[in-house]
Amino acid sequence: MFGTIDSLEGGDRPDMSNRDGLFDREVFLDVLVNAIPLGILLFFVALFVTYGSYPSDVLVVFVQMSLIVVPAVVLLVLTYYAARAVTRAEREDDSATPPGYSRADAEVVSADDD
């Protein structure tokens, strides 16, 4: 049903060595999960800037905005480095072992096992 490690060696696996650029479709989908929290944080920044009833104390406004903007910037930087790490790992890994598995974990399935 899911195939074996040996079935991936027959050309089903995309060639990782000739990728152009940092972000391809697979890496983009891997780091897309960080776009939702980033969008939520940016929504609140826009909401507070547009409709905020600002107090007279500048320190309160600074703390309020920094509590939203700093995590957004950190998330953006971590997403970039995660994309670089995923791309580097995919380029260096030329074996047909799926992520999270090792050759010792692989079970060879033959036609006689059915």
pTM for this prediction = 0.59
- How far is Cα 109 from Cα 114, in angstroms, rounded to an integer? 9
Q: Quote the CA–CA distance of 109 and 97 in Å, as a whole number.
A: 15
Question: Helices (H) and strands (E) in the chain — how many of each?
Answer: 3, 0
Indicate left, alpha or beta for 47 from its phi (over 0: left) and psi (-120 to 50: alpha): alpha
Structure confidence at residue 73 (pLDDT): 94
Could you tell me if 33 and 107 are in contact, meaning their C-beta atoms sit under 8 angstroms apart? no
> What is the distance in angstroms between the CA of the first residue and the CA of the last residue of the chain?
12
Specify the pLDDT at position 66: 92
- Record the tokens describing residue 46, joined without a space: 């826009």
- pLDDT tens digits in sequence order for the chain, 114 residues long: 444 444 444 445 455 445 556 667 888 887 888 888 999 999 988 988 888 777 778 888 899 889 999 999 999 999 989 888 888 877 776 566 666 666 666 666 666 655
- pLDDT (0 to 100) of residue 11: 46
